[in-house]
């Protein structure tokens, strides 16, 4: 087939490309190479649709190129038209070696970092700030909810799990390509910028005085989601416009932290 | 100390009591012995507060009896007053052997099954039906939300993960002691009983025609939460009073299934 002439086949773990992909499992190397991995058909499709210029490389296992034939053909067209830089095929064994999951689908992309700086705030009105969330699944779920409920920007604070961690990317299910991501900012700088730009600052705390369902929502606001056990840092609490809580009429004293975040974002959704 | 004279120390894995606790990790043996394990300080406290008569046995590791001294003393008092049947102390090694987690707190209870039959429906107005949820963490999270939002009863349908699975119990964080639990019912029988008892039947589906935030809620209703990928079974869809969905103004096409369930239960919370 003349159309796929540019697809490379790599069969050795010692190949530089494979070694590089394996390195991207670790934050240290991601920071060094300014690149990360996106795995799974759904997430890679979102990357193609929303961030094709950030994709350095697509990897298909040989089985996956057959199983997802239509998707594979589309990628070949994008390669031939010059929109996609590079496609590599690998045997299953090599794919398992570079995969970030235990049950790989056989589709993976290497993307360049695409996080933004705080100046993107000037064009946004609905922002989620994530303060020290530790569990990658929780962070991914929060990014997915932020997207679903019409937020435009997600900002992580220093001490939060890396947004480019493969588990975060996986549980975000492509949503990180739909919002502007700003990462690992200092609390003080962030609070200052938000204030200067006229954002109302909402924080979630079990000791909040406003029931989230009764909050009158400002046109421009940032909602702060805190750490799973410690909650939101004092730097945000002290500068909060409103301290909000979720009313719980039953006997449970608390909610799972990802669930609590999801409900808060749901209540603040774009209407 | 004369007060703790009845506390037994067990130091061998071959002890019958230890063997029995180990067996309760498996559903097959749980069904046979009609008992299950509750692990962790928080969950065991809830069991003591809400279901002390169902506790057959409390187990403390020797370290935990010191670390949670006040709690341990309270348990001894309950033992001496005859409210608690039995307390056993074990060395750390034995506790690790019977623990259901990788990071044990050293506190565990064996409880008798306490699920109810469908006739409890006569005294309830707000019921959650769980149809074929597979992930134990998701089921536990849903039970915790059901409790938090003032539901009185949780019913699982055949094919749903076991409510007595240690991971379900753990992620429910004691909430299973706050609601009536009915388990593993046949769909058809359940739908018939709900109809006969005058419950409105709400089902959640992405193809729902009513936005959950705009639903006018009946005095007596059951909400059906479906399987993570297949959704709700046709037996419920065909008998639904209302098919509800969550509005998502953003670009994400779906939500994490535990998150979607949580938002639905939140919207239907007791007000």
At B6, the pLDDT band (50, 70, 90 cuts) reads confident
At B5, the pLDDT band (50, 70, 90 cuts) reads low
* pLDDT at position A2 over 50: no
Looking at residue A109, its pLDDT comes to 98
> Are residues A107 and A124 located together in one domain of the fold?
no
> Are residues B197 and B218 located together in one domain of the fold?
yes
Of A52, A83, A112, which residue constitutes the final position of a domain? A112
Nearest to B256 among A144, A174, A269 (CB): A144
**CATH value at residue A246:** 3.40.1280.10
Of B112, B139, B174, which residue constitutes the final position of a domain? B112
Strand partners of residue B40:
none
* pLDDT at position B227 over 70: yes
pLDDT digits (tens, 9 = 90+) for A61-97: 999 999 999 999 999 999 999 999 999 999 999 999 9
Interface test with B, best of A256, A258, A260, A262 (most B CBs within 10 A): A256
> Are residues A24 and A95 located together in one domain of the fold?
yes
Q: Do B250 and A173 touch (CB under 8 A)?
A: no
Domain containing A93: what range? 2-112
Kindly state whether A266 is in contact with chain B, defined as any CB-CB distance less than 8 angstroms. Answer: yes
Mean pLDDT across A110-134: 97
Kindly state whether A271 is in contact with chain B, defined as any CB-CB distance less than 8 angstroms. Answer: yes
> Are residues A46 and A179 located together in one domain of the fold?
no
Interface test with B, best of A154, A259, A262, A271 (most B CBs within 10 A): A259
> Are residues A185 and A106 located together in one domain of the fold?
no
Kindly state whether A252 is in contact with chain B, defined as any CB-CB distance less than 8 angstroms. Answer: yes
User: What single string gives the DSSP state of each residue in chain A?
Assistant: -GGGTT-EE---TTSHHHHHHHHTTSHHHHHHHTEEEEESHHHHHHHHHHHGGGEEEEEEEHHHHHHTHHHHHHHHHHHHTTSS--EEEE-HHHHHHH-SSSS--SEEEEEE---B-GGGGGG-SEEEEE-S---HHHHHHHHHHHHHTT--EEEEETTSPPTTSHHHHHHHTTGGGTSEEEEEE-HHHHHHHHHHTT-EEEEE-TT-SEEGGGPPPPSSEEEEE-BTTTBS-HHHHTT-SEEEE----SS-----HHHHHHHHHHHT---
Nearest to B255 among A144, A256, A271 (CB): A144
Kindly state whether A147 is in contact with chain B, defined as any CB-CB distance less than 8 angstroms. Answer: yes
> Are residues B73 and B133 located together in one domain of the fold?
no
Provide the number of structural domains found in chain B: 2
Looking at residue B86, its pLDDT comes to 95
Nearest CA in chain A to B174: A252
> Are residues B72 and B157 located together in one domain of the fold?
no
> Are residues A104 and A149 located together in one domain of the fold?
no
ipTM of the complex: 0.91
> Are residues B126 and B98 located together in one domain of the fold?
no
Looking at residue A271, its pLDDT comes to 87
Mean pLDDT across B230-252: 95
Mean pLDDT across A26-50: 97
**CATH value at residue A55:** 3.30.1330.30
* pLDDT at position B4 over 60: no
> Are residues B106 and B38 located together in one domain of the fold?
yes
Of B112, B131, B158, which residue constitutes the final position of a domain? B112
How distant is the Cα of A27 from the closest Cα of chain B, in angstroms? 25
Average per-residue pLDDT for chain A: 95
pLDDT digits (tens, 9 = 90+) for B134-179: 999 999 999 999 999 999 999 999 999 999 999 999 999 999 999 9
> Are residues A223 and A125 located together in one domain of the fold?
yes
C-alpha closest to that of B232 among B262, B208, B248: B208
How distant is the Cα of B149 from the closest Cα of chain A, in angstroms? 5
Gap between the Cα atoms of A24 and A40, Å rounded = 16
* pLDDT at position B98 over 50: yes
Cite the beta strand spans of B24-169 per DSSP E.
Answer: 35-39, 55-61, 87-90, 107-112, 126-130, 153-157
> Are residues B108 and B125 located together in one domain of the fold?
no
């Amino acid at each position: 087939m003349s159309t796929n002439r540019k697809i490379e086949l790599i069969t050795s773990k010692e190949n530089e490309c494979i070694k590089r992909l394996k390195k991207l499992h670790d934050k240290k190397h991601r920071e060094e190479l300014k690149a990360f991995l996106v795995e799974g058909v759904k997430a890679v499709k979102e990357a193609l649709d929303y961030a094709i210029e950030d994709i350095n490389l697509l990897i298909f296992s040989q089985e996956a190129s057959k199983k997802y034939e239509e998707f594979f053909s589309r990628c070949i067209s994008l390669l031939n038209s010059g929109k996609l830089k590079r496609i590599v095929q690998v045997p299953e064994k090599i794919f398992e070696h570079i995969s970030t999951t235990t049950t790989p689908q056989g589709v993976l992309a290497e993307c360049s970092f695409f996080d933004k700086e705080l100046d993107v705030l000037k064009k946004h009105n609905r922002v989620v700030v994530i303060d020290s969330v530790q569990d990658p699944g929780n962070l991914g779920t929060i990014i997915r909810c932020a997207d679903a409920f019409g937020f435009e920007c997600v900002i992580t604070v220093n001490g939060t799990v890396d947004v480019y961690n493969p588990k975060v990317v996986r549980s975000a299910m492509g949503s990180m390509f739909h919002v502007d991501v700003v990462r690992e900012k200092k609390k003080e700088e962030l609070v200052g910028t938000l204030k200067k730009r006229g954002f109302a600052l909402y924080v979630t705390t079990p000791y909040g005085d406003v029931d989230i369902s009764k909050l009158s929502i400002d046109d421009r606001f940032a909602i702060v989601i805190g750490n799973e056990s410690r909650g939101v840092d004092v730097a945000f609490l002290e500068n909060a416009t409103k301290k909000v809580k979720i009313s719980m009429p039953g006997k449970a004293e608390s909610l799972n932290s990802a669930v609590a975040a999801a409900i808060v974002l749901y209540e603040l959704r774009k209407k």
